Amino acid sequence: MEIYRGKRLSVEKREVTLPNGEMMERVIVHPGGAVAILPVEGDDCYLIRQYRFAIDDYILEAPAGTIEEGEKPHETAYRELIEETGMKASSFVPKGCIYSSPGYTDERIWLYLAQDLSPCSDFRMDEDEVIEVVRVPIKDLDAMIADGRIADAKTISLICRCLR
């Protein structure tokens, strides 16, 4: 039974049968798919410092965004990189996908390494985003993850998939 439907997600209450035969009632969040992009240029990468209202704080993360209706993940990656950083890439290398939190959501995030970057004149940030682009030396990423400066799960996964 659907208990909520918004512009970008729906929430459903469903009775599920577990592998052991037990029946349970569960709530599942369906936000749709998303992408995350690690733009790399030489020995540096670009992250964004973005305000996230759910945690009421700024967080350092990879550019990312929701896949629009009819859009393919690589098209979303191309669009989101421009929208969030003002850069475009001539090379997008797919790095698989991750599930953000499979205990309650079916969200799948496709990961991309973006290379051969150049400024894009069509740069227009979404109205509801407060973003600062931050250039980070790749050699500093492990320490930033270890000390918590990078705490976003999709960004940590993306760094592991792209730079290991």
Query: What is the C-alpha to C-alpha distance for residues 158 and 164, in angstroms, rounded to an integer?
Result: 10
In this structure, are residues 138 and 44 in contact, taking their beta carbons and an 8 Å threshold? yes
Report the phi/psi class of residue 128: left, alpha or beta, with left for phi > 0 and alpha for psi in -120 to 50. alpha
Give 83's contacts (C-beta < 8 A, 6+ positions apart). 65, 123, 124, 125, 126
Cβ-Cβ contacts under 8 Å for 85 (sequence gap 6 or more): 39, 46, 48, 63, 133
Can 127 be counted among the known catalytic residues? yes
* Active-site choice (15, 75, 127, 129): 127
> Which residues carry out catalysis?
127
